[in-house]
Amino acid sequence: MWFPHAFWPALFAVILGAAILIRLFLSDIRKPGNLAAFMLFFSFFIWSFGEMIERMAGPPPADEWVAWFGAQFLFIGMALAPAAFVHFSVVFPYMLRLRWRKSAIYFFYGISLVFAILGIVNPGYMIIADMEPYKGLGQSIWGIVPSTTYTAYTIYIFSMALVFTVIMIYKYIKSDMKILRMQIMVGLSGFIVAVTLITVSSFIPMLLAESAYPLTTVSFSIFSLFILYAIYRYRAFLVSPEEHSGTVEPGFEVVDREAAYRRLERAIKDDVPILAFVSDDPDSFRKRVGRDIPAFQISKELGPDHLNPLIEEHVEMIRFIISSFAERTEGCMVFADVRDAMESMDALPIYEELLKEFGGMSPSLKILFIIAE
C-alpha cells in the first residue's frame, strides 16, 4: 500500500464530496432539489472513494486484490452517476414540469442499478476484464481493463450527460429570471468541464487501451466547487417544496399584525402549507407559531435563511422562492411580516413594489397572501 500522486486528488474529492453531502443532508434531504443533488454527489463520492482505494494499492504488482476491490467499488458510483445526471437536471434549479418525469427518473435509476449489480458481481468479467499497471506522471499505478460490455456503459453515461446538457440549456432559454440563469450557467459550466476531463483522461484512453494520468476525481472536485459557488453565491437549493395543496382561497390581504397572526394560526390548525417572510429570526418565528414552516428573514446580515432586499439578486430570489412555492402548491398561504425590517433598511419602495407585483399576480398563482402591517 502506498500514496502515489494520483491518490491525493482522489482524497481531496472524497473530503469535498463528504462535506457537500453533509451540508445537503442537514439542509433537509426531503426537498426534491436537495435529494437530487445528494444522489449526484453520492455517486461522485462512491466513485472517488473507490478510486482512492485503487490508487493506494501497490506499487504494482503488489496489492492487486486491493485494486480490484477499489475498481468494483468505484463502479457502483459510476453506475449511479448517469441516472443522477437526469435526476439533477430535472429539478435544478427548478422543477421541470413533465408528467412522465418521475417515471423517467425511476427508469434510469433502474438501469443504473443493473449496471451497479453487474459491476459488483462482475460475472464472466463482463464489466471489468482485468487490472493492469500503467504509467501516470512517471509512477506505476493500477488501472481498469474494460470488457466489451463496458462499452454499453460508456454509451449510457454519455447519453445521460447529453440529456443533462440539453435539459439545462432548455431551462436557460425558457427562464426569464437572471438568478435562475446564473445558477444554470454555473452548474452547466462545471458539468461540461468535468465531463470533458473524464472523457480525455479516462474513457478515451481506456477504450483505446492507452495510458493517461487519471483526472476523474479532479473533475469531480471542479464540478463540486462550481456547485458550492452556486449554493453560496446564487442560493441554489434554497427552497424546493414538495407538491401539495391546501384549502384556502387565493387572494391578497393587507391587514394589521394581530389579524394577520390570527389568520396564520387558523391556517396552521387547518394544516395549510405555508411559506413565511419575517423580520425576526426564522427559528424564533417557528417556535412562536409552533410549526416547522419554511421561513426567511429580511435582514442586512447574510445567512442561510436571510434575504437582503437592497441586493438586486436577493429581490430576484424572493420572486423565485414565491414563484417556486406557487408552482408546486395550490390553495396555500404566503405570510409576510417584514414591514419593520424593510423600513429599518430604507427599503420601503422595494417593499411596496413587491406588494403591488404579487397583488396583481395572486389570482394566477392560486395562493393566499397575508401581509401584516
In tens, the pLDDT along 217-246 reads: 888 889 888 888 877 776 666 544 444 555
- Domain residue extents for the chain: 7-234, 244-372
Cell of 250: 387565493
Contact 367, 335 (CB under 8 A): no
Q: What is the 3-state secondary structure (H, E, C) of the chain?
A: CCCCCCHHHHHHHHHHHHHHHHHHHHCCCCCHHHHHHHHHHHHHHHHHHHHHHHHHCCCCCCCHHHHHHHHHHHHHHHHHHHHHHHHHHHHCCCCCCCCCHHHHHHHHHHHHHHHHHHHHHCHHHCCEEEEEEEEECCEEEEEEEECCCHHHHHHHHHHHHHHHHHHHHHHHHHCCCHHHHHHHHHHHHHHHHHHHHHHHHHHHHHHCCCCCCCCHHHHHHHHHHHHHHHHHHHCCCCCCCCCEECCCCCEEEEECHHHHHHHHHHHHHCCCCEEEEECCCHHHHHHHHCCCCCEEEECCCCCCCEECCCCHHHHHHHHHHHHHHHHCEECEEEEEECHHHHHHCCCHHHHHHHHHHHHHHHHHHCEEEEEEC
Mean pLDDT, residues 238-261: 72
User: What pLDDT, on a 0 to 100 scale, did the predictor assign at position 114?
Assistant: 95
188 vs 367: which has the higher pLDDT:
188
Task: Give the pLDDT confidence score for residue 59 in this predicted structure.
Answer: 85
CATH architecture under which domain 244-372 falls: 3-Layer(aba) Sandwich (3.40)
Reported as a pLDDT band with limits 50, 70 and 90, residue 180 is confident
pLDDT in tens, 55-111: 898 888 889 999 999 999 999 999 999 999 999 999 887 777 778 888 999 999 999
Task: Give residue 303's pLDDT.
Answer: 73
The closest of 121, 124, 141, 123 to 132, measured between CA atoms, is 141
Instruction: Return the pLDDT at 241.
Output: 42
Let me know: does 344 contact 297? Beta carbons within 8 Å.
no
Q: Which three cell numbers stand for residue 249?
A: 382561497
| pLDDT at position 29 over 90 | no
| Dihedral sign for Cα atoms in the order 287, 288, 291, 295 | negative
Mean pLDDT of 34-44: 91
Flag whether pLDDT at 328 surpasses 80.
no
CA 117 to chain centre: 25
Q: What is the mean pLDDT of the chain?
A: 84
- pTM surpassing 0.75? no
Burial annotation 107-141 (CB, 10 A radius, 16+ → b, else e): ebbeebeebbebbeebeeeebbbebebbebeebeb
Domains 7-234 and 244-372 share a fold: no
- Which is higher by pLDDT, 202 or 48? 48
Instruction: State the average pLDDT over residues 356-369.
Output: 77
Average pLDDT over residues 18-36: 81
Half-sphere CA count of 176, side-chain side, radius 13 A: 2
Give the pLDDT of residue 104. 94
What value does the mean pLDDT take over residues 158-163? 94
Q: Which long-range contacts (CB under 8 A, 24 or more apart) does 291-298 make?
A: 293/335, 294/239, 294/241, 294/325, 296/321, 297/341, 298/338, 298/341, 298/342, 298/345
CATH number of 7-234: 1.20.1070.10
Provide the 10 A C-beta neighbour count for residue 152.
Answer: 13
pLDDT at 239: 44
- Is there a contact between 219 and 194 (Cβ–Cβ < 8 Å)? yes
As a whole number of angstroms, the distance between CA 317 and CA 354 comes to 12
Task: Point out the least confidently predicted range of 36-45, 113-122, 126-135, 253-262.
Answer: 126-135
User: pLDDT by residue (tens digit) across 273-324?
Assistant: 888 999 988 888 988 888 888 888 998 887 767 888 888 778 878 887 887 7
Which of 120-129, 206-215, 327-336 shows the lowest mean pLDDT across its residues?
206-215
Is the predicted pLDDT of residue 142 greater than 70, yes or no? yes
pLDDT of residue 240: 45
Indicate whether 138 pLDDT > 50.
Answer: yes
Classify each residue of 158-169 as buried b or exposed e, where b means 16 or more C-beta atoms within 10 Å of its C-beta. Answer: eebbebbbebbe
